Structure 1
Amino acid sequence: PEQSSNWDYIFSQVKKAGEGSTVLNLFAYTGGASLAARAAGADVTHVDAVKQVVTWANDNMQASQLNNIRWVVEDAVKFVRREVKRGKKYTGIILDPPAYGRGPEGEKWILEAELNSLLKNCNELLHPEKHFVVLNLYSMGFSSMIAGSLLESAFKTNTNECLDLFFTDRRNRRLPLGVVSRFSII
């Protein structure tokens, strides 16, 4: 439920960008954001290091009666580096990195050490005229302002939106889950 505003945002950005939109979803997990982008008409590349999770995302796609998502089981950092070398461009990039993790070949991911470099490489993958980025963070050391500053630095933009992700319980209390920063030039 905390991601629903992101899914709405992704759907609307893809619709605004129009035909030929391409979206890269990194650390994509079970694919909610991939499904939102595909439902809006984008060609989607879904990248996660865990094969079982990508299988689950594929099941979610089929249950949603969607098709043609490109599934990639790989370390996100390595995949992005290769896409830069290939000269690939994306209309949208979604990042939902863990605080800590391991790639399929044991690659170590530590958010604080790797994120800035990954964001700078992602900047090279953005379509020059129309693009959007969504960055979710779940590490307690990152506020929404810090997430926004990271995007401003890596993507040379100051037009981002920074929000707290939370779940509201039955007593109407907000339980913090993470932060999101996002921007669009569409």
Structure 2
Amino acid sequence: QAANWEFIYDRCAALAAKGRARSGDAERGGASGEAPRVLNLFAYTGGATLAARAAGADVTHVDSVKPVVSWAGENMTLSGLSGVRWIVEDALRFVRREVRRGRRYRGILLDPPAYGRGANGEKWVLEDNLCEMLECCAQLLEPEDSFLVLNLYSMGLSSTLARTAVHQAFGAPAGEQWGELCFEDRAGKQLPLGTYYRMMR
């Protein structure tokens, strides 16, 4: 995930800089600025959360497993950071509620498993639930100056499929990247671990 973390950090840092510039404009009578709001879904132990927070983002971290969220909180403290909003809840249930509230985010990070269970026993099946998740996220992501990161680990789901699904929900982006997540062993062999898709508006 290191390549994703670098991407997330760079995007959040750029958006935070824009927010500070808008704050400067506000002092001269322009529009107000703020830290970019980022939503991390299926957030696990928080590497992506901490990358976004270190770059100045206001991060909401959502995972259905309470001990894992506690672990992420420990990682935040060990990293010398603070201020993350922790949510122990089923990710799909959370985004449905955020849509009803009319919330908006500058960045959305999706790292869904092939199968999973929510905090109250909700069943997550990637092939069944991904399209609804993306449709909800499309309503939450700001139309400009925003980004999305999607990882897929289910066997047989290519990065091209991820790209097609995101385009269907969000429309064509201003910029995009997609490919395989790999780990290189000591012999220099690349071991595939999943696929990624990144979108910029």
Bucket of the pairwise TM-score, normalised by the shorter protein: over 0.9
Aligned length: 183
State TM-score, norm by structure 2: 0.89
Cα deviation per residue 1:38-90 (whole Å; 9 max; x = unaligned)?
00000000000000000000000000000000000000000000001111100
Larger RCO: 1 or 2 (CA < 8 Å, sep 6+)? 1
Amino acid at match of 2:200: S
Higher mean alpha-carbon deviation, 65-74 vs 17-26, is at: 17-26
Q: For residue 27 of structure 2, what is the aligned residue in structure 1?
A: none
Higher Cα Rg, which structure: 2
2:12 matched residue in structure 1: 14
Instruction: Specify every segment of 5 or more residues in structure 2 that has no aligned partner in the other structure, as ranges.
Output: 20-34
TM-score, normalised via structure 1 length: 0.96
| Aligned partner of residue 44 in structure 1, secondary structure | strand
Q: Which runs of 5+ in 1 are unaligned?
A: none
Between 24-33 and 9-18, report the one with greater CA deviation.
9-18
The equivalent residue for 1:114 is 129
Counterpart of 2:160 in structure 1: which amino acid? M
Q: 1:5 aligns with which of 3, 8, 12?
A: 3
Residue 72 of structure 1 is matched in structure 2 by 87
**For each residue in 1:141-182, what CA deviation from the matched residue of structure 2 results, as whole angstroms up to 9, or x when unmatched?**
211111111111111025321110011111111111000001
Structure-1 separation of matches of 2:94 and 2:182? 30
Match of 2:78 in 1: 63
Residue aligning to 2:187? 171
Moved more, 16-25 or 67-76: 16-25
Query: Is the CA contact (8 Å cut-off) linking 1:152 and 1:160 kept in structure 2?
Result: no
State the match for 1:85 in structure 2: 100
Aligned-residue CA RMSD (Å): 0.8
Indicate the percent of aligned positions where both proteins have the same amino acid.
55
Equivalent residue, structure 1, for 2:30 = none
Name the structure with the higher helix share.
Answer: 2
Once residues 70 and 121 of structure 1 are traced to their aligned partners in structure 2, the CA distance between those partners, rounded to angstroms, is 20
